[in-house]
A and B are shown apart, each in its own frame.
Chain A
Amino acid sequence: MNTIFHNKLVAIGKHTLNPVGFVAYALLCLLRGQVDLREFIRHLYRFIYGVFPIVLMACIGVGGVVALQGLEYVARYNASEVFGWAAGLSAFRDVAPLLLSFVLANAVGARNTAELLAWRAQAGEVSFKALGIHTFRIIEGPRLFALTVAALLLYPIAVVATLVSAIVFAGMVGDQNVYASFYSIYHYVPLAILGAGLLRLGCFGFLIGVFSVYFARTQRFDPLSVGKGVGRAAAISTLLICILNFVLTALETL
Chain B
Amino acid sequence: MSSLAQKVWRTALRAQLNPKLLGEKSFWQRLSQVGNGAFWIVAGVTFFAGAAFCQQAAFQAQALLGDQSFIGPEYIVLAFKSFGPLVVALALMSKVGSAFAAELALMRQNQSLDALVLYKQNPGARWCAPMGLALTFGAVGLGLLSTVVWELAGMVVMYGFHGIMPQSFFRPDAISRELVLLCCIKNAAFGQSIYWVSLRSGLFVGHGTTATGFSPTQAMVRGVLLILFVNLFIDFVWLRLGF
A: residues with CB less than 8 A from B are 54, 57-58, 61-62, 64-65, 68-69, 71-72, 89, 94-95, 98-99, 102-103, 105-107, 110-111, 114-115, 117-118, 121-122, 173, 223-224, 226-228, 230-232, 234-236, 238-239, 242-243, 245-246, 249-250, 253
Contacts and interface: CB of A to CB of B under 8 A. Distances in A.
Given A62-B228, A65-B231, A231-B95, A110 B216 contact: yes
A230 B216 contact: yes
A173 B236 contact: yes
Contact of B214 (A114, A235, A236): A114
Given A235-B91, A249-B55, A227 B212 contact: yes
B49 A242 contact: yes
A107 B169 CA distance: 38
Contacts of A250: 55, 161
B99 A231 contact: yes
Contacts, number: 169
A235 B95 contact: yes
Contact of B224 (A64, A94, A98, A106): A106
Given A61-B229, A253-B55, A234 B48 contact: no
A221 to B, nearest CB: 8
Contacts of A253: 55-56, 59, 161
A185 to B, nearest CB: 15
A249 B99 contact: no
Given A122-B209, A235-B98, A250-B161, 15 more contacts: A58-B224, A65-B235, A68-B236, A98-B52, A106-B223, A110-B217, A121-B209, A227-B106, A231-B94, A231-B102, A232-B95, A245-B48, A246-B55, A249-B56, A250-B55
A239 B45 contact: yes
Central interface residue in A64, A232, A234, by most chain B CB within 10 Å: A234
B101 A242 contact: no
Contacts of B48: 239, 242-243, 245-246
Nearest to A249: B52
25 contacts: A61-B228, A71-B239, A103-B221, A105-B94, A106-B94, A106-B220, A106-B221, A106-B224, A111-B217, A114-B214, A118-B209, A118-B214, A121-B209, A223-B106, A224-B102, A226-B213, A228-B102, A231-B95, A236-B41, A238-B94, A242-B49, A245-B49, A246-B51, A249-B56, A253-B59
Contact of A231 (B55, B109, B216): B216
Central interface residue in B55, B94, B239, by most chain A CB within 10 Å: B94
The 10 closest A-B pairs by CB, nearest first: A227-B102, A61-B228, A231-B98, A242-B48, A106-B220, A226-B213, A223-B212, A64-B232, A253-B59, A235-B94
A226 B82 contact: no
A107 B59 CA distance: 32
A116 to B, nearest CB: 10
B105 interface: yes
Contacts of A54: 221, 225
Determine the main DSSP class of A at the interface with B: helix
B98 A227 contact: yes
A226 B98 CA distance: 11
B39 to A, nearest CB: 12
A245 B225 CA distance: 22
B90 interface: yes
B161 to A, nearest CB: 7
B86 interface: yes
Contacts of B44: 239, 242-243
Contacts of B99: 227-228, 231
B29 interface: no
A26 to B, nearest CB: 22
Nearest to A230: B216
B98 A234 contact: yes
